[in-house]
Amino acid sequence: MSSELSFREERLADAVKIYLSGEVDIYTSQNLKDKLYNIIDSTQMDLKIDCKELDYIDSTGLGIFVGTLKKSKQYGKNIYIVNLKDNIKKLFTITGLDKLFVIE
């Protein structure tokens, strides 16, 4: 389990897929927002965030996801969050964010 955050981007035909690995917290998230916003602005495509290797997130990261979703919506696009671990899916449910994002 890594306490750092790694970020990998894959261009699909109709979306950009992001693979997050490690932990999104107040420290590691500092440049995540910039990366996600840049991808949305430059591609104007749907975003799929694969969280299979994401071990930790808190409201810092959830807030970044919400901000990214707002930006996506400006382009008429959506964010799909896939492979959430149970402990992280719980946070989406607690905060009602499971109703904002498409969670697969």
Partner 1 sequence: MGEVNDSIQLILPFKAEYVIVARLAVSGIANRGGFDIETIEDIKVAVAEVCNKLVAMGSKSAENYKVIFCLSDDNLKVIFDCEDKTLKSIFFNEDDQLGISIINALMDKVEFCHEDGYILSMSKAVERDS
Looking at 44, 77, 95, 100, which residue binds partner 1 (CB under 8 A)?
95
Q: Does 87 bind partner 1 (CB under 8 A)?
A: yes
Burial label for 42, CB within 10 Å (0-12, 13-18, 19+), is exposed
Q: Is the CB of residue 77 less than 8 Å from the CB of residue 42?
A: no
The interface with partner 1 within residues 28-67 (CB under 8 A) comprises: 30, 56, 58-60, 62-63
Q: Residue 61: left (phi > 0), alpha (psi -120 to 50), or beta?
A: alpha
Give the residues across from 24 on adjacent strands.
Answer: 57
27 binds partner 1 (CB under 8 A): yes
The reply on whether position 103 binds partner 1 by CB under 8 A is: no
The count of residues interacting with partner 1 (CB under 8 A) is 18
Cβ neighbours of 39 (radius 10 Å): 19
Please, which residue, 74 or 93, has the CB nearer to partner 1?
93
Q: Which is nearer to partner 1, 43 or 95 (CB)?
A: 95
Binding site for partner 1 (CB under 8 A): 3, 23, 25-27, 30, 56, 58-60, 62-63, 86-87, 90-91, 94-95
